[in-house]
């Protein structure tokens, strides 16, 4: 097992490619914010949230400013000058902003308001783009998009306010039982989902358990507890989480690597345990 890097060294590697897409803050000259060649503005913001970069740092504040400029008056986020706008764009932008402490900006509030009012019938979020054709399985929200949106809301709202999204939480809990690909983008729960993946940026076991742990509805649900127990099986003999998978571009840059223990990941695990304890205390009263 490799020794983990310091946050500063990881951040330096991330900063080394801040101009690689042709403009500053990991953006393209035409304003694209989601191009991972090698790292996009939105991905960089998610990584910075895991590295605990202060929101005042010029690289983070500059990236956040680009994202906030991309917010339309109706709260949707246009991450490229041309092309359609999908719920995943808005959910990803909301998560990137909220996880870095920008919950109170007017632009973030606009995104969250839009997400609140644009839920699918089952309570989650769903893109109307059918890469795999239409079928019964596509008549559900997209679990990946729903997880990102719930991540944003858990940062912005109180425990009491989060109950508004119980139906969205239920869609994710139900998916733990169903496991088969659902939603237009066919999110499934299989071998890749079950790998210990870090940092948090897409649908996988660790991110799933982490986000759901903030929601009272999930905290004592047997499906959540089953997922939590699967995560706990990943602990090594010293009680640490060892990364089994990470974003390819981040590994190529050496920002995150497979086979490494990261204190940040262990801190996220402690947050999960704290959330479970908190809700158990409330439920026992």
Mean local confidence (pLDDT), 201-225: 96
* Confidence at 284, pLDDT banded by 50, 70, 90: very low
Q: Is residue 2 part of a domain?
A: no
Instruction: Identify the bridge partners of residue 235 per DSSP, sorted by sequence position.
Output: 241
Q: Is residue 164 part of a domain?
A: yes
Q: Is residue 97 part of a domain?
A: yes
The predicted pLDDT at position 184 comes to 78
Residue with the two structure tokens 């998560």:
95
Within 8 A by CB and 6+ apart from 246, the residues are: 197, 198, 199, 256, 257, 258
136 neighbors 115 (Cβ within 8 angstroms): no
Among 37-46, 123-132, 239-248, the least confident range: 123-132
The pLDDT > 70 percentage for the chain reads: 94
Q: Give the burial string for 264-285 (b: 16+ CB within 10 Å, else e).
A: bbeebbeebeebbeebeeeeee
Mean local confidence (pLDDT), 214-226: 95
Mean local confidence (pLDDT), 114-128: 93
Say how many domains are in the chain.
Answer: 1
In order of 140, 142, 176, 209, the CA distances from 185 in angstroms are 10, 7, 17, 21
* Confidence at 4, pLDDT banded by 50, 70, 90: low
Report the chain's mean pLDDT, rounded to a whole number.
93
Mean local confidence (pLDDT), 5-34: 95
pLDDT at residue 72 greater than cutoff 60:
yes
Q: Measure the CA–CA gap between 148 and 201, rounded to whole angstroms.
A: 8
Mean local confidence (pLDDT), 97-121: 97
| Residue 101, burial from CB neighbour count under 10 angstroms (0-12, 13-18, 19+) | middle
Nearest to 96 by CA among 124, 123, 68, 121: 68
**Tokens representing residue 132 in the block:** 């795999």
CA atoms within 13 A on the CB side of 48: 32
Q: Is residue 1 part of a domain?
A: no
Q: Is residue 285 part of a domain?
A: no
Residue 244's domain comprises 7-280
Q: Is residue 273 part of a domain?
A: yes
List the CATH number of the domain containing 152: 1.50.10.20
Q: What is the DSSP letter of 258?
A: T
The predicted pLDDT at position 104 comes to 96
The predicted pLDDT at position 220 comes to 86
Mean local confidence (pLDDT), 4-24: 93
Mean local confidence (pLDDT), 247-264: 96
- The CA-based angle 62-117-148, given to 5 degrees, is 50
* Confidence at 121, pLDDT banded by 50, 70, 90: very high
pLDDT at residue 74 greater than cutoff 60:
yes
Q: Is residue 110 part of a domain?
A: yes
CA atoms within 13 A on the CB side of 143: 28
Q: Measure the CA–CA gap between 47 and 36, rounded to whole angstroms.
A: 13
CA Rg, the chain, in Å? Answer: 18
């Amino acid at each position: 097992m490799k020794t983990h890097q310091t946050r500063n060294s990881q951040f330096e590697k991330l900063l080394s490619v801040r101009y690689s897409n042709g403009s500053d803050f990991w953006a393209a000259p035409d304003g694209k914010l989601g191009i991972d060649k090698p790292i996009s503005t939105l991905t960089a913001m998610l990584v910075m949230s895991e590295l605990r970069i202060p929101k005042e740092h010029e690289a983070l504040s500059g990236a956040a400013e680009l994202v906030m400029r991309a917010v339309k008056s109706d709260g949707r986020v246009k991450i490229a000058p041309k092309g359609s706008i999908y719920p995943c764009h808005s959910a990803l932008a909301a998560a990137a902003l909220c996880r870095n402490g920008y919950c109170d900006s007017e632009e973030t509030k606009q995104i969250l308001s839009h997400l609140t009012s644009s839920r699918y019938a089952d309570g989650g979020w769903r893109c109307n783009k059918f890469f795999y054709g239409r079928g019964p399985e596509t008549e559900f929200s997209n679990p990946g998009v729903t997880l990102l949106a719930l991540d944003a809301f858990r940062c912005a709202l109180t425990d009491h306010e989060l109950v508004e999204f119980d139906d969205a939480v239920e869609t994710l809990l139900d998916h733990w039982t169903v496991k088969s690909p659902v939603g237009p983008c066919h999110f499934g729960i299989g071998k890749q989902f079950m790998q210990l993946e870090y940092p948090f940026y897409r649908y996988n076991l660790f991110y799933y358990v982490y986000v759901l742990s903030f929601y009272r509805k999930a905290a004592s649900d047997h499906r959540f507890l089953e997922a939590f127990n699967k995560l706990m099986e990943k602990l090594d003999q010293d009680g640490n989480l060892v990364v089994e998978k990470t974003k390819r571009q981040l590994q190529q840059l050496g920002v995150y690597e497979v086979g490494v223990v990261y204190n940040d990941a262990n801190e996220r695990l402690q947050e999960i345990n704290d959330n479970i304890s908190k809700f158990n205390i409330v439920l026992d009263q």
